[in-house]
């Protein structure tokens, strides 16, 4: 039977460590977990079974294995030290007999995004970023539809536009919307991106290094590697949609608490084909996975055991190819979720009603 392994790591240290080690999660505080994570070895988490291709009936199995570092630790430590721990975790995948290895969340962000790691391992490696792009763009287009925001005349924004995932998301969105803000921290990188996309883009492209311009956008796709939130309630206009692909999240929990007139959706959740059991709760309902996990699984179903998405320069061709492969095997964009809860069509209707109310209040105050 063909197999895969996927590396996860704690994102919210206390909550995620408790999922595997309840006692440790209870007695250690966040800073202590951060600190001790440096000395933890890679951890075997679970076997994944029940995945079956809709197209071919092929069944595969896989494993979750964990790199113990938290996002803060991965950003603080020298890249070499982090690579070493990820490679050690990758060796565990090799021992288990995995045919392909996926790098989850920050293990795919650090340094050169998988290139050094892949060179040091015999097992083929993928970051899962190509399918993450495809699912994020699909999700924001779906959300625009249900919120009745016509794409062709919409103003959109990509936050973290200079990143590996952000760049291709911007490239794809620029085909559909009227105006697109490219938001990042480095002006030179933004300029380079704008000049490259401008050649084919349908949208007017505007660069920005501040979040203030978000007030102008109806559709926002955010995908930074910041270790804390970067989008606050006051940045957003009533009725806007924010698709948060980043882990840890970019959108402050305050947005959910203070703004009932905005639709925030988690980017990157898909339904997995077959009666899958992950034997581990990573915070999603049964049968659903992150898009980056799905890329790894889809490649195993397809028998494509090769380094697939690596490095910071993703290509549109790879995004389109993995989209086809995944859809063929039965991966589907899942319903909307927001801050780990399902979003119903009734809730979307309520958001739209509240947005109309907020707009009226704003006009009255002018
Ligand atoms: N949901 C999923 O399935 C999934 C899959 C894979 C990855 N992810 C998540 O996607 C995110 C991005 O990954 P990536 O590989 O694209 O990372 P990346 O290549 O490192 O790009 C990160 C982007 O974020 C910007 N950024 C970093 N810190 C920031 C801050 N404090 N404020 C504003 N912007 C900031 C960077 O700007 P500069 O260019 O100025 O540095 C860059 O544009 C991560 O959170 C990762 O965990 C999610």
pLDDT at position 135: 97
Measure the CA–CA gap between 286 and 195, rounded to whole angstroms: 43
Ligand 1, atom 47: nearest CA belongs to which residue?
105
Say yes or no: CB of residue 70 within 6 Å of ligand 1: no
Tell me which residue of 181, 91, 165 sits closest to 314, measured CA to CA: 165
* Ligand 1 contacts CB of residue 247 (under 6 A): yes
Q: What's the number of CA atoms in the CB half-sphere (13 Å) around residue 88?
A: 17
For residue 5, the CA-to-ligand 1 centroid distance in Å is: 23
pLDDT of 11 reads 83
Distance between Cα 218 and ligand 1 center (Å): 21
Answer whether 138's CB lies under 8 Å from 162's CB: no
Residue 351 near ligand 1, beta carbon < 6 Å: no
- Which pLDDT belongs to residue 142? 95
pLDDT tens, position by position, 289-300: 999 999 999 999
186 Cβ below 6 A of ligand 1: yes
Report residue 226 CA to chain centroid gap. 13
Instruction: List, for the chain, all residue ranges whose pLDDT scores fall below the cut of 70.
Output: none
Residue 185 beta carbon below 6 angstroms from any ligand 1 atom: yes
Residue in 181, 208, 214, 223 to alter for ligand 1 test, most ligand atoms within 8 A of Cβ: 223
Residue 211: CB within 6 Å of ligand 1? no
Of the residues 186, 225, 269, 288, which should be mutated to test ligand 1's pocket, given the most ligand atoms within 8 Å of the CB? 225
pLDDT of residue 20: 78
User: Which of helix, strand or coil describes residue 332?
Assistant: strand
Shortest-distance atom of ligand 1 to CA 159: 34
| Distance from residue 109's CA to the centre of ligand 1 (Å) | 7
Q: d(Cα 362, Cα 99) in Å, to the nearest integer?
A: 56
Task: Compute the distance between CA of residue 247 and CA of residue 127 in angstroms, rounded to an integer.
Answer: 14
Nearest alpha carbon, ligand 1 atom 11: 246
Query: How much is the CA Rg of the chain, to the nearest whole Å?
Result: 20
- Enter the DSSP assignment of 235: G
**Whose C-alpha lies nearest to ligand 1, atom 21?**
163
203 neighbors 180 (Cβ within 8 angstroms): yes
Alpha-carbon gap, residue 75 to 4, rounded angstroms: 27
Residue 1 alpha carbon to ligand 1 centre in Å: 35
Task: Give the model's pLDDT for residue 198.
Answer: 96
The owner of tokens 């059991």 is 277
What integer pLDDT is reported at residue 144 of this predicted model?
96
Residue in 67, 102, 101 with CA at minimum distance from that of residue 85: 67
């Amino acid at each position: 039977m063909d197999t895969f392994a996927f590396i996860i790591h704690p994102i919210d240290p206390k909550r995620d460590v408790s999922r595997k080690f309840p006692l440790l999660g209870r007695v250690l505080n966040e800073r202590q977990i951060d600190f001790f994570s440096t000395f933890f070895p890679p951890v075997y988490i679970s076997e994944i079974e029940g995945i079956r291709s809709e197209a071919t009936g092929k069944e595969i199995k896989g494993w979750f294995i964990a790199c113990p570092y938290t996002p803060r630790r991965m950003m603080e430590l020298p890249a070499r030290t982090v690579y070493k721990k990820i490679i050690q975790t990758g060796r565990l995948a090799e021992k288990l007999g995995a045919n392909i290895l996926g790098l989850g969340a920050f293990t795919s962000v650090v340094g050169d995004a998988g290139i050094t790691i892949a060179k040091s391992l015999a097992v083929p490696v993928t970051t899962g970023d190509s399918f993450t792009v495809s699912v994020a763009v699909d999700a924001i287009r779906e959300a625009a539809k249900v919120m009745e925001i016509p794409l062709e005349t919409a103003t959109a924004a990509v936050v973290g536009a200079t990143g590996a995932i952000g760049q291709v998301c911007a490239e794809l969105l620029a085909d559909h919307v009227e105006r697109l803000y490219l938001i990042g921290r480095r002006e030179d990188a933004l300029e380079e991106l704008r000049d490259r996309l401008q050649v084919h883009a349908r949208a007017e492209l505007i660069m920005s290094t501040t979040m203030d311009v978000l007030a102008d956008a109806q559709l926002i796709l955010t995908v930074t590697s910041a270790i804390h939130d970067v989008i606050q309630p006051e940045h957003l206009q009533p009725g806007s949609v924010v698709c948060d692909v980043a882990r840890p999240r970019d959108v402050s929990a305050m947005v959910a608490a203070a703004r009932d007139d905005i639709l925030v959706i988690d980017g990157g959740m898909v339904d997995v084909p077959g009666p899958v059991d992950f034997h581990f709760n990573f915070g999603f309902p049964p049968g659903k996975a992150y898009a980056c996990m799905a890329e790894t699984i889809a490649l195993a179903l397809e028998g494509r055991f090769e380094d697939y998405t690596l490095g910071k320069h993703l290509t549109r061709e790879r995004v389109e190819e993995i989209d086809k492969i995944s859809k063929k095997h039965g991966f589907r964009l899942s319903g909307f979720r927001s801050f780990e809860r399902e979003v119903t069509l009734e809730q979307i209707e309520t958001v739209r009603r509240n947005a109309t109310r907020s707009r009226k209040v704003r006009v009255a105050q002018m």
